[in-house]
Amino acid sequence: MSKRENTRVHLVSLGCPKNRVDSEVMLGHLVDDGFQIVERPEDAEVIVVNTCGFIDAAKEESVDTILELAQYKESGVCTKLVVTGCLSQRYAPELAREIPEIDHFLGTGNFATISALLGGATAKVGHDGCRS
């Protein structure tokens, strides 16, 4: 059994229908690569938040959700918090500065790399401002 098969992931999808589709694609990649998807964030070793960042209300909801889920890094079994989607694409440097609990950022163009990222990739800020 690989480490991936032991890794429990919880994903929250916020925003538009495109985000829901992107979230489904990410979940498909994770399942195909042996990650276990869990319904409750308190059961997850990795929490992924697929964000929206186009209107102020969506930005606020995304930030509030990230902050809420970041608490599981202190109180739960969560070891990684990953932020994906539009907010991550547009504001990764600001989010990294303001919410240090975030371990990785994936923009809208590289969400399909989620399995590789969680499989042990080192976080770094890329040319698009997103950690990969």
Give residue 16's pLDDT.
87
pLDDT exceeds cutoff 70 at 124: no
Give residue 126's pLDDT.
39
Residues whose CB falls within 8 Å of the CB of residue 113, separated by 6 or more in sequence, listed in order: 106, 132
Handedness of CA 131, 32, 119, 9 (dihedral sign): positive
Query: pTM for this structure?
Result: 0.87
For 31-83, the pLDDT digits (tens) are: 999 999 999 999 999 999 999 988 999 999 999 999 999 999 988 789 999 99
